[in-house]
Amino acid sequence: MVKNNDEEVTVMKVRRSDRLVDMTRYLLERPRTLISLKFFAQRYDSAKSSISEDLGILKRTFQDRGTGILETVPGAAGGARFIPYILREDAQKFIEQIIHEVNDESRLLPGGYVYLSDLLSRPDVLRQVGRLIATQYLNQDVDTVMTVATKGIPIAQSVATFLNVPFVIVRNDSHITEGSTVSVNYVSGSSKRIEKMELSRRSLKEGAHVLVVDDFMKGGGTLNGMASLIKEFDASLVGMTVFAEGEFSGEHRLVDHYTSLIKVNAVNPNDQTITAQPGNYLTTVFGKEMGSK
C-alpha cells in the first residue's frame, strides 16, 4: 500500500496511457498540493525517471490547453503541483456568454433588481467563475475565502476549490452551533442603514490572508463590512471580487479596490430592458483590451 495525504492506494503496474489519465485526475482533484515523485512511482510501480517524463507531458499539455500550470519541484522532497488558471480568450468568451444571458428582459424584477440566482446555481457557470477568480489571485497567498450568506456561498465554494483553501460564511445573525462570534456594525451602501454581521471566532486565524467574494455589489457596504470584520481578527485582506456590480447613483462606493466579472449599467423598469457589459476583471487581470495596441 502507498500513502499520500492519509490516502491508501494499491500498488499496480499500469501502462503509460492509463498512468497519464490517472495522474491527470489525481492532480486536478488536488490543486496547489505538492505530490511527490516517490508517491507516483510507488502508485504505478514505475521508475522515477518514467514519472518525470509523464509529468513533462502533462505540463506541456496543461499549458497548451490553458488548463493550468504544472509546477515541478526538484530534489528529494520534490514533486509536482497543479495550479489551475484560465486563458484570457476563454475568460472573455465566458464573460460574453454571461452578459448575453443577463441581457434578458425576463430577469428584471420589481424595484429594478436583476435575477441572477439561476446562473449561480449552475455547475458549469460556478466552475468557470471559480477558475476566473482563482486566476486573478494566482500569485498571491490566500488562506481563506470569505463571503456573506447566502447567495455568495456557491461562489466562495467554487473559488475555494480551485485555490484549495477553506471558505468561511459571514452571517447577519448568530448560530448557536458556531460558538462565540465576532461582530461588526457596517453601513449599507445603498440604503445607508446600520447593519450587523458576525463570524465565529473559530473560523479565521490571526494573520490569515483573506479573499472576499460575493455575488453582487451596489454601494459596497457589505464588502466594506467584511473588510472591517477581517481587521477584527487581525487578518489581512488580499482582495475583493464580485460576480456582478450594479449601477450606483450615490456619491461614491464604500470600497475602492474591487474586481467585477460583469457590470449591469442600466435597468429600465419602464421598457423592461437590462444593459450589461464586462466588468473590470479582464483589464485588471490581463491588462489592456484584446486587440488594442
Taking only the tens place, the pLDDT of each residue in 152-208 is: 999 999 999 999 999 999 998 877 778 899 999 998 866 678 999 999 999 999 999
Mean pLDDT of 102-110: 88
The CA distance from 143 to 204, in Å, is: 9
- 81-85 LR contacts (CB < 8 Å, sep 24+): 81/32, 81/33, 81/34, 81/35, 82/27, 82/28, 82/30, 82/31, 82/32, 82/33, 83/31, 83/32, 83/138, 84/28, 84/31, 84/131, 84/134, 84/135, 84/162, 85/131, 85/134, 85/135, 85/138
Specify the pLDDT at position 189.
Answer: 63
The CA distance from 103 to 254, in Å, is: 27
The CA distance from 87 to 215, in Å, is: 22
Q: How confident is the model at residue 113 (pLDDT cuts 50, 70, 90)?
A: confident
Residues 222/230, Cβ–Cβ less than 8 Å: no
Please give the CATH number for the structural domain made up of 2-84: 1.10.10.10
Nearest 5°: CA angle at 234, between 229 and 238? 75
Q: How confident is the model at residue 291 (pLDDT cuts 50, 70, 90)?
A: very low
Backbone phi, psi, residue 227, to 5°: -65, -40
Mean pLDDT of 4-19: 69
Question: Do 2-84 and 88-286 share a fold?
Answer: no
Nearest of 75, 35, 76 to residue 55 by alpha carbon: 35
Specify the pLDDT at position 5.
Answer: 54
Instruction: List the domain boundaries for the chain.
Output: 2-84, 88-286
Cis before residue 147, ω within 30 degrees of 0?
A: no
pLDDT, tens digit, 9 for 90 and up, residues 26-72: 999 999 999 999 999 999 999 999 999 999 999 999 999 999 999 99
Looking at domain 88-286, its CATH architecture is 3-Layer(aba) Sandwich (3.40)
